[in-house]
Amino acid sequence: MAAACIISKQANTQWSKTIFIVQLVLIILLLLVITAINGWAFPVKSILIIAGVVLLLAVVFYFIKSDVYNRLQKAVAASVATMALCFFLLNSNFYPKLLTYQGGNQLALSTKGKADPADVYFWKDMQSSSFSFYTASLRQEFADSVLQTGKKVWLLFDIRNEEEIKKGGYLIGQQFVVLDYEITKLDLKFVNPEKREKQCTKMVLAEIGR
């Protein structure tokens, strides 16, 4: 319905001009947002990604400046090109860098072949669905009885629980430590590169015994 309405009024110069201006403002705002995210918060460092950005930006400005298309066609084409640029940067730069702050994901990668997921146990209320997902394993809660099996036992815990674990009489051996942040709850402090690390905790996977 909306598309049919717009097409029916494309001959109206004032209507087309208004649509073009509105879309142009939205395009500029969107470009400013993705510039802040990918230039300041999570800077692009890959030459290939930069080349892709330059190419897509050229396409955006081509549609905006071209005399081949009318205003309505420009509004649609430039908007689509801008969205393509946004999705390109989100998937090639923003999301991959954001995932480096997902502790479970990073622990799964760094301990692959070093710690058997079947021997990993979670401390009390500790949760990490990303670790379980990337290791294709189920969450197992830690209990003293698992130490009696005679095999190597790994404990997954938050660094803030380390003292509690030690006071419980457990010995912590080899360990892997990564930054951890609840990436589904982004806030401005985390987005700020200078304050980001302070917003993170640390997730630990350590060999444990008595």
pLDDT tens per residue, range 101-160:
999 999 999 999 999 999 999 999 899 999 999 999 999 999 999 998 778 999 999 999
Report the domain count for the chain: 2
Q: Domain ends where: 82, 97, 112?
A: 97
Q: Do 117 and 192 reside in the same domain of the chain?
A: yes
Residue 11, pLDDT score:
58
Q: Do 199 and 111 reside in the same domain of the chain?
A: yes
Q: Do 75 and 165 reside in the same domain of the chain?
A: no
For 39-57, the pLDDT digits (tens) are 999 999 999 999 999 999 9
Q: Do 109 and 151 reside in the same domain of the chain?
A: yes
Q: Domain ends where: 97, 126, 141?
A: 97
> Is residue 183 domain-resident?
yes
For 26-39, the pLDDT digits (tens) are 999 999 999 999 99
Q: Do 88 and 170 reside in the same domain of the chain?
A: no
Residue 7, pLDDT score:
56
> Is residue 77 domain-resident?
yes
Q: Do 120 and 199 reside in the same domain of the chain?
A: yes
Q: Do 38 and 122 reside in the same domain of the chain?
A: no
Q: Do 79 and 114 reside in the same domain of the chain?
A: no
User: Rounded to whole angstroms, how far apart are CA atoms 188 and 172?
Assistant: 35
For 67, 141, 151, the CA distances from 145, given in Å and listed in that order, are 76, 11, 12
For the entire predicted model, the pTM comes to 0.83
Tokens at 161, concatenated: 């629980």
Residue 157, pLDDT score:
97
For 3-16, the pLDDT digits (tens) are 555 555 555 678 78
Cα dihedral 157→158→164→167 (10° resolution):
60
Q: Which domain holds residue 55?
A: 13-97
